A and B are shown apart, each in its own frame.
Chain A
Amino acid sequence: MTQDDVLVIAGRSIRNRFFLGTGKFSSRELVGEAIRAAGIEVVTVALRRIEPERRSESILHQIPAGVVRLVNTSGARDAQEALRLARLARATGLGDWIKVEVVDDSKYLLPDNDETVRATELLTADGFVVLPYIFPDLYIARRLQRAGAAALMPLGSPIGSNQGLQTREFIRILIAETGLPVIVDAGLGAPSQAAESMEMGAAAVLANTAVATAADPVQMARAFSLAVAAGRAARLAGLPPPGLPSASSPMSGFLTQP
């Protein structure tokens, strides 16, 4: 891979195309270790009501300077709540990158695509860099593109399910038909699935649960990062299409020939 293979989002150059979610880790320190070990450049964080009795260090102290903090709007059930969370994030100096996540379904945790479009329209008008988390649907993707989304974040399968790329054919359509970077987010359970996403032409991959709940999250963060780089290299190299059997060794000059 060449040195200048960078993903550019809102003017920011990103070399490591593996984005890490920071939830579910057994300790804050592990988050920092995983970020450093895997050379992570973009992480997601969330906003929640403070728990006064839990006086622990902020997770922000574990995120090295220079790493993009992509704030999700988890907890938002509609566009207005997403806008409110985004403004709170910006007011605290977290920057203006927002992963719009509008979920009003507590069983399957599927994103509400319509509200996500509305939230994206509100947020881009307010100057945010918006990366919407969606169920992969071409019509929604086009509306998001018109609304000024900086990238699309389609789910591979339901959040935290480790079910992998169940939506691969629909993600392929988004990659082929929109000019936006497609960042596969949610549901990936193994580095091989991240590599496949990149081979398909995804611009980046985000994972959280598969890393945070691994027996060794730091090693798993490295594994995902390597897999994403490998998949990207394969994409750039040009994968040959599947076909009929074809010998790899010459079909003449056999020693056993008479």
Chain B
Amino acid sequence: MTVIINGVPVNVAEGEILGKVIDARCGRERPVIVDMNGEIAPKNRWPEIRLREGDRLELIEVVGGG
């Protein structure tokens, strides 16, 4: 199935766990903020959230800025 990650369509396994997708893309150590379909997904829920077709994820991090 396809989900949208940071605006780009990505194929993931049916019912994939959100936490696995984040680990694979960002590593475990990196501080990541997740917005799922316009709502913040708290980190403690990542291991239990199952993705659905068309879910929109924004994976966000803190960067230098003025």
Contact = CB atoms under 8 A, between A and B. Distances in A.
* A88, A92, A159, A209 interface centre (most CB from chain B within 10 Å): A92
A212 to B, nearest CB: 8
B15 to A, nearest CB: 22
Contacts of B65: 21-23, 44-46, 72, 74, 208
Give the dominant DSSP class at B's interface: mixed
Given A92-B31, A92-B33, A49 B64 contact: no
Interface string A20-50: 0111110010010000000000001111111
Given A88-B33, A88-B35, A60 B27 contact: no
A94 B59 CA distance: 16
Interface stretch (A10-18, A51-59, A162-170): A51-59
A203 B40 CA distance: 35
B40 A48 contact: no
Given A52-B25, A52-B26, A47 B66 contact: no
A91 B33 contact: yes
Given A47-B33, A88-B35, A25 B64 contact: yes
B30 A87 contact: no
Contacts of B63: 23, 45-48, 59
Interface in B3-33: 6-7, 25-27, 30-33
Given A23-B65, A46-B64, A48-B60, A55 B27 contact: yes
A88 B42 CA distance: 10
Nearest to A73: B65
Interface residues of A, number: 36
Contacts of A45: 62-65
Given A49-B6, A55-B30, A92-B33, A60 B62 contact: yes
Give the dominant DSSP class at A's interface: mixed
B19 to A, nearest CB: 15
Contacts of A84: 35, 38
B34 to A, nearest CB: 9
A88 B64 CA distance: 16
Nearest to A211: B66
A135 to B, nearest CB: 16
Contact of A49 (B27, B30, B60): B60
A186 interface: yes
B66 A206 contact: yes
Nearest to A63: B62
A214 B66 CA distance: 15
B61 A58 contact: yes
B3 to A, nearest CB: 14
22 contacts: A24-B66, A25-B64, A45-B63, A46-B63, A47-B33, A48-B60, A48-B61, A49-B6, A49-B7, A49-B60, A50-B30, A52-B59, A59-B62, A60-B31, A72-B65, A84-B35, A88-B40, A89-B33, A89-B62, A92-B62, A159-B66, A208-B66
